[in-house]
Amino acid sequence: MVRFLLKLAVLLLAIVIQFKFLSYFGWTLDLTLAALVAIAFFASWPEEIVFLSVGAWFLGYEPGIGWTTLIYLALPLIVFVGRRALPWQPWINNLMALAAALILFYLVAVGAAALVADFGRFLWDIGGSLVFGAAAFWLFHDYLKYRNI
């Protein structure tokens, strides 16, 4: 139960920080995606479905689920399914999977032309999300894998 609550707390923290960035600065980092990718390395099937549902619930701005929300949630699910097949050390797998998820999401959601036009903000988003994702992965790896809680 403590494991589940720790993952949920990190996801909710990411959602709160993401919405605060949006309200204060007018743009946001994709911290929810970073948290969902980090959680994908440590969650079981039922937990992954719960966390993806929580992420969809907080990120669903329109009635029903839009195609961008589906893509946003499919990327951590792909990481969850393929996490054992990644060839590098776990912390490198997390960073590579998160960077790939962010790049794919931006290419599909806004397109390459818009990505190039606002490349500075994209780099800021990648950097901030990678830092948050690495911190979440370190927390999960240290406290969930090596401690018996």
pLDDT per residue as tens digits for the range 52-84 = 988 888 776 566 677 778 888 888 998 898 877
Cα angle 64, 115, 138; round to 5: 75
**What pLDDT sits at residue 147?**
59
**Pair 30, 105: CB distance under 8 Å:** yes
**What pLDDT sits at residue 148?**
57
Convert the pLDDT of each residue in 134-145 to its tens digit.
Answer: 999 999 888 766
Distances (CA, A) of 90 to 122, 137, 141: 25, 9, 9
What average pLDDT does the segment 80-107 reach?
87
**What pLDDT sits at residue 143?**
79
Buried-state track 13-23, b at ≥16 Cβ within 10 A, e below 16: ebbebbeeeee
**Pair 136, 33: CB distance under 8 Å:** no
Convert the pLDDT of each residue in 13-30 to its tens digit.
Answer: 999 998 888 778 777 788
